[in-house]
Amino acid sequence: MSRKLRRASLREIGLAFGLAAALASPCFGGVAGDTWSRFDRFLATFDPAGHYLREPIEKRVPALVFKGFLRQWSDVLLTEDRQAGFRDKDFRFLQLQNLLESELHYFLTPNVEITNVNHLLYDGVYDWQSSRGLFAPRVSQSARAYQDFERIVRELYVSYRSYAFDLVLGKQQVAWGKMDGQFIDIVNPMDRRESVQLETSDYEYRRLPTWMANFTYFFGKNSIQLLYVPNFEQDRLAPPGSPWYPPSVPPSDSEVRDRLAGRLPPSGDIVLDRRKPEMGDFGDHEGGVRIDLSMEPVTWGLIYFSGWDDNPTHYIVDRRVENGLTRLVVEPRHKRLHHLGMTGDYATSFSAVPVIGTLPTVLRVEALYTRDVPFADSARRDAAEQGALDDGVVERDTLRAAVALELALPANTTLLFQPSAYYTFGHRDTLGVGFGGAYLDEWNLVPVFYIARPVLFTSDRLRVSFTAYPILSGPRTDFQGVKTKLIAGYTFSQFIVGKLIYTAYGGGKNVDLYGQYDKWDNIGWELSYEF
Amino acid sequence: MSSDRLGASIVLCLAVAAALPLRASAGEAARLAKTWRTMDEVSAEEKKQLDSRAETPRDSRFPYLPAERYPFEPPFTAEEIGIRSADFIHVSRWSHAIYDAFGLLTGGGYLHEAAAVGLVNYVAEPGLAGELFQIAPGDVSTRMLMYYVFPPETDGAEDLYVVHRTDAERTKKIDYFTYAPSLRRVRRQPEPRRGERFPNAVQSFDDIIGRAPWEFAWRFVGADVLYETVRFPNTRATITLANAAREFREVPTGSLKMMGNDYPYYRPDGGVDCWVLEAKTRTDWLPGYPLTKILYWLDRHSFYPLRIEQYDQQGELQVVEVRLARQENPALGERGYAALITIYFDPKLDMTSYSVHDAHTVREWTDQDREVVFSPDFMRRGWLVQPLKSQALVRSPDQFYLRPMLDREKFPNERKVALTPEVQARVAAQEAAGHVVFETQQAASAAASP
């Protein structure tokens, strides 16, 4: 980034956080303070959807619980670079998303409940700025707005509860695990349109619910959960022409645009239709089991899941020579994976710690081991291009694991240190990316550091947090960059909260996970009204 | 309006106007009289209930307890009264369910409220005796599940507190688990730091869970008569309360008494006789504790704390807690009192919190309940097994409870109350207006007016 741009970025960050500080200053004296006081008191009771929608509906239908939220997210790039890798980065807004959620629970009896969660999403990023680089709706309409049943009706299920067991049938999402990040949270696929900026707090809205039967049997403080998932869905990655499509991935945006418009003849691999696991085929269904055990002061659990890789791997199935050029025929296929995972946590308090006295502490661990994960192998691909009979894919076992240490420091300050490791067994440099393994290397280590605290002079309404995600790698690459995130969250009222978020990417090379996004520093805001 | 009706209205207004000063003067007289006395001023007859010894024989098993067995016989030492008062922590010492409506108001008028259905499984026999004699140090004394129903942001969130009896060696007070619907995960959390207030609240973890009386050195300070604890604004004539049968009733706020209607020991003028005790933090038990001492106003019969003042490391008043109690568990007699409304006021931050324990329902949990409901894994089921309802939220800043009386003239040698001029002006404006005054201009003019 040039010095001028860096100055401009700092100015914008300063302005944004200055605005946040101003918002967070209910301690003004005099006229300004009184004006703020009136505004505060107005907001305290400002709940129009609650008063005019939720309450009348619930009054009319006593067995119904109705709630929802309206949320607006916007992210603005802080750099003006026009070209970044293969991308035409001629846009400033990374998202202008508006999401309306309605959530309904209807109680047929005290034990039987029907739940329905709907989402209406519109991202103005494609319409409210002029950009040649943003053409994703031509690839996938859901990048701009949800338009079909699958996306709008997120969850629809009927549940039956008793002391001994829960049975939930229908379209639903299941989150396994206790950690920040995805380790054993593998049941549902994810909408990863935000790529490296997808955070744990977004999973609830980005996870893609699927049709399944979910049975949990409780015995004492322990439980066993069985999942049967006939409906497979794949991850939705950032499509070409979207703000977060990786800049390190060829071809260029202009080439993709020309191919979409038919101005360029097809070239490169001939990609067949994806072979998708079928709901009607019993052999294609997924299943899993989770056991949770409570043994004070430790709680722990084990999981096993047999499911499809959420992202297809391109298997070479043929080789054609056209006009003297060799083109490989590839078929995207999902491979069935077998996952074995564990999770556990333990709490203690250290006493007489210098300066801070007592130190309450929690330790969490989580790990997932996956067998025979497919990786594209460039050496095998080269061999296939030369005529060898090879599908271009090798299988390797992977392990991803994390240990989190969370400390409760004075002044309601939370500090979390979570080293997360990703490892590919039998790695070699020609391998691409595979589920659970390290990114373009044998191992990655991500020592996540997080600190957060409320600001006292705002009566805790302002909460500031800082997170750093550096990626260390080996043995081929040393450092794949760092993502840092500074968040100032402000509670306007018990119904309205806002956030200012500054995210920066630095270090690493232009093919590395974070390194490729080093021109994607951005500042964003979130405003959410819940009713 | 006809001239007859106009005339009648004028007469009625004059009559009310004439009556008001009389009624006010009776109340004022009681309040303005010196109600407090140091121990030197307490009569010998009254002192017969008290044992002034600071050192008493100790229990052989638990040397931090007196040899005399709880609940003790009169005359009582300060330590014994302190231990008796520990029967009445914020969360009653018996199994029950409540609808807990609570909230915070800043001096500027920012209101943040929440509500949760609380399910409490008191493991031992009801009362402090159960914990003292049936629970070994380090073992679980209480399991408490909170299911949040308001505001919408936290609707469906749950907390599980597994409370342990502590001593000098076994200091872990709780195991703490949370469930957030937005994460769909049950997570173990570090236990909150004792004595440190919760975010968005005045009260601390210890204010909610309670303090072990043996962590403090007890001393008699004096006697006092309380006439008011929790005070409603003149903008709120009634409060809607629910009972265990889930019936709502509109209650005039002026009719609520400090210890409920059934308390037999009110003075003729409505006051409650209290002993005032100091609990000084024992640094060998609580090193680095943010409070140096706590003053308790305990009713003289059940030793129920009606007013509690916490003093910080500088010895200045940090938090005032006042309670409005009532008999919620008649089977326990004088130990069955529980807080209906509690107000916490931080005079330095000018923040006031409240907590209403509405729809209090004494419960005897089944074995199945005890085993299944009060476990971390239960929370992810999102099952509210006791769906209580309440209308006790304040809803509007203008109807919030008044800051408690500071009574700065009482026990001046024991109490150091420091207020900023701005807070002084707001408090004075509140007292003049009869409701909380938020705007500084208005507060200044109200405080300046005679």
Confidence of residue A3 (pLDDT cuts 50, 70, 90): very low
pLDDT at B30: 60
From chain B, the residues in CB contact with A454 under 8 A are 199-200
Q: Is the pLDDT of residue B340 over 60?
A: yes
Helices (H), B262-384: 367-368
Cα(A169)–Cα(B447) distance, integer angstroms: 63
Cα(B214)–Cα(B211) distance, integer angstroms: 9
CA A254 to chain centre: 28
pLDDT at A356: 85
Residue B416 contacts by C-beta under 8 Å, 6 or more apart in sequence? B311, B315, B316, B317
- What are the two backbone dihedrals, phi and then psi, of residue B168, each rounded to the nearest 5 degrees? -65, -30
Q: What is the pLDDT of residues B61-108, one digit of tens each?
A: 999 999 999 999 999 999 999 999 999 999 999 999 999 999 999 999
Please give the share of chain B, as a percent, with pLDDT higher than 70: 91
Cα(B210)–Cα(B188) distance, integer angstroms: 21
Q: What is the pLDDT of residues B249-289, one digit of tens each?
A: 999 999 999 999 999 999 999 999 999 999 999 999 998 89
Chain A and chain B share a number of CB contacts under 8 A equal to 180
* Nearest chain B Cα distance for residue A350, angstroms: 9
Pair of tokens at residue A373: 């994960």
Residue B284 contacts by C-beta under 8 Å, 6 or more apart in sequence? B168
B142 burial (CB, 10 Å; 0-12 / 13-18 / 19+) is: buried
User: Between the CA atoms of B307, B313, B315 and B320, what dihedral angle is there, to the nearest 10 degrees?
Assistant: -20
Confidence of residue A245 (pLDDT cuts 50, 70, 90): very high
Q: How many CA atoms lie within 13 A of B120 on its CB side?
A: 25
The ipTM, to two decimals, is: 0.89
Q: Please report, for residues A104, A111, A160, B153, the alpha-carbon distance to residue A115 in angstroms, rounded to integers and kept in the order given.
A: 6, 13, 11, 18
Cα(A211)–Cα(A169) distance, integer angstroms: 8
CA B346 to chain centre: 14
Q: Which residue of A has its CA nearest to B111?
A: A44
Q: What is the pLDDT of residues A447-501, one digit of tens each?
A: 999 999 999 989 899 999 999 999 999 999 899 999 999 999 999 999 999 999 9
* Nearest chain B Cα distance for residue A529, angstroms: 9
Confidence of residue A22 (pLDDT cuts 50, 70, 90): low
User: Between the CA atoms of A504, A506, A510 and A512, what dihedral angle is there, to the nearest 10 degrees?
Assistant: -90
A387 burial (CB, 10 Å; 0-12 / 13-18 / 19+) is: exposed
Using the Cβ of A360 and the Cβ atoms of chain B, whether some distance falls under 8 Å is answered with: yes
Using the Cβ of B206 and the Cβ atoms of chain A, whether some distance falls under 8 Å is answered with: no
Of A216, A351, A493, the CB nearest to B171: A351
Residue A409, strand partner residues = A413
Query: What average pLDDT does this structure show over B159-173?
Result: 93
Q: What is the pLDDT of residues B2-52, one digit of tens each?
A: 444 444 444 433 443 433 443 444 455 665 689 999 999 999 999 999 999
Helix, strand or coil, per DSSP, at residue A284: helix
Using the Cβ of B52 and the Cβ atoms of chain A, whether some distance falls under 8 Å is answered with: no
Q: Is the pLDDT of residue A57 over 70?
A: yes
Q: Is the pLDDT of residue A140 over 90?
A: yes
Cα(A81)–Cα(A505) distance, integer angstroms: 15
User: Between the CA atoms of A516, A518, A519 and A521, what dihedral angle is there, to the nearest 10 degrees?
Assistant: 130
Using the Cβ of B139 and the Cβ atoms of chain A, whether some distance falls under 8 Å is answered with: no
CB contact under 8 A, B397 and A40: yes
Residue B302 contacts by C-beta under 8 Å, 6 or more apart in sequence? B84, B88, B334, B335, B337
Cα(A447)–Cα(A167) distance, integer angstroms: 38
CB contact under 8 A, B439 and A37: yes
CB atoms within 10 A of CB A147: 12
**Amino acid identity, position A49:** A
Residue that wins the pLDDT comparison between A225 and B170: A225
Q: Is the pLDDT of residue A261 over 90?
A: no
Cα(B194)–Cα(A507) distance, integer angstroms: 42
Pair of tokens at residue A448: 């996540």
Q: What is the pLDDT of residues B209-245, one digit of tens each?
A: 999 999 999 999 999 999 999 999 999 999 999 988 8
Q: Beta-strand (E) ranges in A177-250? A: 191-192, 210-219, 222-229, 236-237
DSSP state of A190: B
CA A317, A321, A323: angle at the middle one, nearest 5?
A: 150
CB atoms within 10 A of CB B176: 22
Of B189, B289, B440, the CB nearest to A29: B440
* Nearest chain A Cα distance for residue B322, angstroms: 21
* Nearest chain B Cα distance for residue A511, angstroms: 32
CB contact under 8 A, A221 and B193: no
DSSP state of A194: T
Cα(A502)–Cα(A484) distance, integer angstroms: 8
* Nearest chain A Cα distance for residue B440, angstroms: 6
Using the Cβ of B396 and the Cβ atoms of chain A, whether some distance falls under 8 Å is answered with: yes
Nearest of A71, A331, A22 to residue A205 by alpha carbon: A71
Q: In what order do the strands lie in the sheet with A325-333?
A: A270-271, A325-333, A313-322
Residue that wins the pLDDT comparison between B9 and B247: B247
Cα(B224)–Cα(B273) distance, integer angstroms: 6
* Nearest chain B Cα distance for residue A234, angstroms: 21
From chain A, the residues in CB contact with B378 under 8 A are 218
Q: What is the pLDDT of residues A357-415, one digit of tens each?
A: 889 999 999 999 999 999 999 999 999 988 888 999 999 999 999 999 999 999 999 99
Cα(B289)–Cα(B209) distance, integer angstroms: 16
Cα(B375)–Cα(B378) distance, integer angstroms: 6
Query: What average pLDDT does this structure show over B317-339?
Result: 97
Within 210-249 of A, beta carbons closer than 8 Å to B belong to 216, 218, 220-223
Probe site for chain B from A37, A43, A208 (most B CB atoms < 10 A)? A37
Of B108, B349, B383, the CB nearest to A37: B108
Q: Is the pLDDT of residue A29 over 80?
A: no
Q: Are strands A191-192 and A236-237 parallel, antiparallel or unpaired?
A: parallel
Cα(A86)–Cα(A246) distance, integer angstroms: 8
From chain A, the residues in CB contact with B183 under 8 A are 175, 200-201, 203-204
Nearest of B381, B331, B384 to residue B184 by alpha carbon: B381
Residue that wins the pLDDT comparison between B319 and A297: B319
Please give the share of chain A, as a percent, with pLDDT higher than 90: 81
Q: Which residue of B has its CA nearest to A29?
A: B440
Q: Is the pLDDT of residue A30 over 80?
A: no
Cα(B382)–Cα(B373) distance, integer angstroms: 11
pLDDT at B151: 95
Using the Cβ of A67 and the Cβ atoms of chain B, whether some distance falls under 8 Å is answered with: yes
Cα(A6)–Cα(A101) distance, integer angstroms: 38
pLDDT at A452: 98
Mean pLDDT of chain A: 92
Cα(A66)–Cα(A106) distance, integer angstroms: 9
A42 phi-psi bin (left φ>0, alpha ψ -120 to 50, beta other): alpha
Pair of tokens at residue A421: 């490791």
From chain A, the residues in CB contact with B187 under 8 A are 178, 345, 364
CB atoms within 10 A of CB A61: 12
Cα(B172)–Cα(A380) distance, integer angstroms: 58
CA A302 to chain centre: 23
CB A118 within 8 A of CB A102: yes
Cα(B340)–Cα(B328) distance, integer angstroms: 9
Pair of tokens at residue B307: 């007013």
- What are the two backbone dihedrals, phi and then psi, of residue A372, each rounded to the nearest 5 degrees? 50, 55
pLDDT at B394: 95
Q: What is the pLDDT of residues A340-353, one digit of tens each?
A: 999 999 999 888 88
From chain A, the residues in CB contact with B376 under 8 A are 221, 294, 299
Using the Cβ of B189 and the Cβ atoms of chain A, whether some distance falls under 8 Å is answered with: yes
Nearest of A124, A138, A132 to residue A91 by alpha carbon: A132
Cα(B43)–Cα(B37) distance, integer angstroms: 10
From chain B, the residues in CB contact with A360 under 8 A are 190-193
Query: What average pLDDT does this structure show over A67-89?
Result: 93
CB A155 within 8 A of CB A171: yes
Cα(A487)–Cα(A496) distance, integer angstroms: 17
Q: Is the pLDDT of residue A1 over 50?
A: no
A460 phi-psi bin (left φ>0, alpha ψ -120 to 50, beta other): left
Cα(A167)–Cα(A225) distance, integer angstroms: 10
CA A317 to chain centre: 33
CB contact under 8 A, A494 and B114: yes
Within 360-379 of B, beta carbons closer than 8 Å to A belong to 368, 371-372, 375-378
Q: Which domains does chain B have, with CATH numbers?
A: 31-418 (2.50.20.10), 419-450 (no CATH)
From chain A, the residues in CB contact with B172 under 8 A are 297, 347-349
CA B329, B332, B334: angle at the middle one, nearest 5?
A: 95
Pair of tokens at residue B117: 């259905």
